[in-house]
């Protein structure tokens, strides 16, 4: 199972949110580059980067900071946040992204998603932010009446390489992930799932790893690392 330490960036700083609420945002001392170096030095091979300005505004204001990580750190990076066009995807793949994450654009324009998946084979991930079964968009500011399962069935044969599934009710709470609903949903779809939201301890990760016959490919950990609840040396043993 892949462990993805997270770097969420807003205004060139590492931040974490609680349930996607920008009024409940914590900024951290380490720069995004320094945080990426720490992950690399602790033996992690993959990281998950989200441009929160991009997610909110539909365009990136943190590109230079993110590109610096690509240039200086030898990690497999999945990048998302404000990636809405073919050119956006192509830009990050040329920069060396392992996976490019589409969220709002994937849901609002499935024709574009199909084209991008065909052009950039095995490079496209889709981020689904879900609250009570329904998808939320634009940095969780826009709720929809689209059921996650209906959307997933629609795109199942497009060639999406992974689904990053975030339970908004759990994200940033450190109260444990919504494992049951995530597994129930992932087992209905052949696309691998990455669990995001609510990871509180290494025990949560061990529990997910121990599950049999699931479609879970990995897990994303953010706030629990930044707040010191999960020690990187201990987390690295789960790689």
> Domain range holding 221?
2-236
Average pLDDT in the chain: 89
* Separation of alpha carbons 195 and 216, rounded Å: 7
| Token pair listed for 26 | 């914590």
pLDDT reading at 172 higher than 70: no
> What mean pLDDT comes out for the span 164-193?
80
pLDDT of residue 26: 73
Are 158 and 4 in contact by the 8 Å Cβ rule? The answer is no
CATH code where residue 129 lies: 3.20.20.70
Number of domains in the chain: 1
**Which of 54-58, 113-117, 204-208 is least confident?**
54-58
Q: What are phi and psi of 102, to 5 degrees?
A: -105, 135
pTM of the model: 0.90
pLDDT computed for residue 76 by the predictor:
98
Summarised one tens digit per residue, pLDDT across range 181-221 is 888 899 999 999 999 888 889 999 999 999 888 899 999 99
Using CA atoms, how far residue 122 sits from 29, 118, 199, in Å, is: 35, 9, 27
Q: Which residues are catalytic?
A: 8, 129
| HEC secondary structure over the chain | CEEEEEEEEECCEEEEEECCEEEEEEECCCCHHHHHHHHHHCCCCEEEEEEHHHHHHCCCCCHHHHHHHHHHCCCEEEEECCCCCHHHHHHHHHHCCCEEEECHHHHHCHHHHHHHHHHCCCCEEEEEEEECCEEEECCCCEEEEEEHHHHHHHHCCCCCCEEEEEECCCCCCCCCCCHHHHHHHHCCCCCCEEEECCCCCHHHHHHHHHCCCCCEEEEEECHHHHCCCCCHHHHHCCC
């Amino acid at each position: 199972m892949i462990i993805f330490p997270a770097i969420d960036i807003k205004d060139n700083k590492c931040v974490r949110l609680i349930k996607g609420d920008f009024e409940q945002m914590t900024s951290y001392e380490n720069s995004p580059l320094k945080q990426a170096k720490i992950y690399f030095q602790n033996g992690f091979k993959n990281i998950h980067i989200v441009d929160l300005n991009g997610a909110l505004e539909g365009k990136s204001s943190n590109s230079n900071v993110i590109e610096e990580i690509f240039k200086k750190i030898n990690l497999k990076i999945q990048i998302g946040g404000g990636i809405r066009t073919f050119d956006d995807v192509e830009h990050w793949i040329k920069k060396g992204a392992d996976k490019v994450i589409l969220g709002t654009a994937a849901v609002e324009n499935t024709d574009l998603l199909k084209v991008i998946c065909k052009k950039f084979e095995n490079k496209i991930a889709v981020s689904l932010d879900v609250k009570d079964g329904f998808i939320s968009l634009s940095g969780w500011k826009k709720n929809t009446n689209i059921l996650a399962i209906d959307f997933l069935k629609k795109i199942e044969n497009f060639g999406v390489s992974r689904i990053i599934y975030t339970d908004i009710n759990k994200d940033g709470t450190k109260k444990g992930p919504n494992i049951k609903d995530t597994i129930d949903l992932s087992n209905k779809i052949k696309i691998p799932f990455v669990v995001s939201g609510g990871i509180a301890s290494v025990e949560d990760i061990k529990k997910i790893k121990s599950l049999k016959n699931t479609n879970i490919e990995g897990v994303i950990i953010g706030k629990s690392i930044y707040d010191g609840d999960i020690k990187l040396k201990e987390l690295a043993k789960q790689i």
